[in-house]
Amino acid sequence: MTVVQVQPKEDILFQYFLDGKTHKKKSVSWRLLMVIIVGFCGLSLCFVRVGRRTLLKEAGLYGKDPVSHFHCPNILNNASNSIQLHYPRPKSYQRGECICTPVHFFVILSMQRSGSGWFETLLNDHPNISSHGEIFHRGSMQERNLNFIKRRIGEVYNLDYNSSAAKNVCTSAVGFKWMLNQGALEYHKEIISYFRKRGVSVIFLLRRNLLRRLVSILANAYDREAKLINGTHKSHVHSKQEAAELAAFKPTIKEDTLVDSFRKAVELSQNALKLFHGTRHIVIYYEDLVKNKKKLDQVQEFLGVRIVPLKSNQVKIHIQPLSDQIRNWDSVNKTLRGTEFEDFLADAEYI
């Protein structure tokens, strides 16, 4: 046993193992001590590991989150309406009793003053729809960055984005509003590929009468300065009286660029429709929604939610004939007569 020499003599533990005879008396107590030490180390290691695991688990940090023990049934994506469904696992809370409620992702692509604010209040009246409004305003440089855009959309679809529309737990359709001039078209290749991959359904909300839309844009821009209702700017109103106050402003419309600006707007929406053609989509016109509330059933069917009556507290602002709404009506009338936009003039289609 050459090893013996290498061990220091005073190392009593080694002596015990190597020379049982000379340390017989001590050996019993040492054996006991060893058992206790080894046992204690083992146990404490075990406790530390378990404790760590439990703590981390509670904090949702240990490996997969705790709910992953729980398996939702495999999603049978409905081939007949090609809705793709998901089980999001939000980071900020747990979905509780609706953990296995499948979620459908959607986006509303629209243009300013096309009724999308009103449309969203209708959608959000549904117990299982969360439509988060404009999550991009094109206000910051960040919002021109594709990674930022994707991250924010990801938050919405993971049910982590918080707004007054968030219903979280039992949401079964979640989406947001994206104006065509807020980056949706700029990155269309990447966005469309993202939408197709994640099964995002697109609701195009467009307004046919661009002259009415223009009146709304101008009145809204004017009110931003004038703040007609008690010194606050209102883009949407909730009473007839407020609506009348905002509608009292009659804009003067520049005739020379009118037709051109309409052509540009038509081009923008046609272009968007063409680009997003390959996504699952529906085209809804504001005018049809106003005239026929049944249109909302079609939207709910498209979103794959239970069809219920939906209502909004918002009140329509401009309800008079256009001729009473535009200061230089005669010249606008003359400008549009004989163009492809002539129909906009004789429009008494809704009250």
Ligand X SMILES: *[C@@H]1O[C@H](CO)[C@@H](O)[C@H](O)[C@H]1NC(C)=O
Residues forming contacts to ligand X in the complex (CB under 6 A) are 78, 80-81, 92-93, 98, 101, 127-128, 162, 166, 170, 172, 229-230, 301, 323, 333, 345-346
Shortest CB 301 distance to ligand X, Å: 6
- N- to C-terminal Cα separation, the chain: 107
Shortest CB 199 distance to ligand X, Å: 14
Give the position of tokens 């209708």. 122
Shortest CB 145 distance to ligand X, Å: 24
Shortest CB 116 distance to ligand X, Å: 22
Nearest CB to ligand X, comparing residues 162 and 292: 162
Nearest CB to ligand X, comparing residues 170 and 282: 170
In this structure, the number of other CB atoms found within 10 A of the CB of residue 215 comes to: 24
Distance of CA 153 to the CA centre of its chain: 6
Nearest CB to ligand X, comparing residues 170 and 185: 170
SS3 282: strand
Using Cβ positions, the residue closest to ligand X within the complex turns out to be 170
List of E strands, the chain:
85-86, 103-110, 129-134, 173-179, 201-206, 281-285
Nearest CB to ligand X, comparing residues 40 and 350: 350
Question: Do the Cβ atoms of 134 and 252 come closer than 8 Å?
Answer: no
SS3 234: coil
Shortest CB 66 distance to ligand X, Å: 18
In this structure, the number of other CB atoms found within 10 A of the CB of residue 307 comes to: 13
Nearest CB to ligand X, comparing residues 52 and 233: 233
Give the position of tokens 């960040």. 142
Nearest CB to ligand X, comparing residues 206 and 287: 287
Nearest CB to ligand X, comparing residues 110 and 300: 300
Nearest CB to ligand X, comparing residues 44 and 162: 162
Give the position of tokens 């969203």. 120
The residues, any chain, with a CB within 8 Å of residue 182's CB and separated by 6 or more, are 134, 136, 137, 138, 143
Calpha distance 94→99 (Å, rounded):
7
Calpha distance 171→334 (Å, rounded):
50
Shortest CB 228 distance to ligand X, Å: 10
Shortest CB 273 distance to ligand X, Å: 22
Shortest CB 179 distance to ligand X, Å: 24
SS3 154: helix
The residues, any chain, with a CB within 8 Å of residue 306's CB and separated by 6 or more, are 128, 300
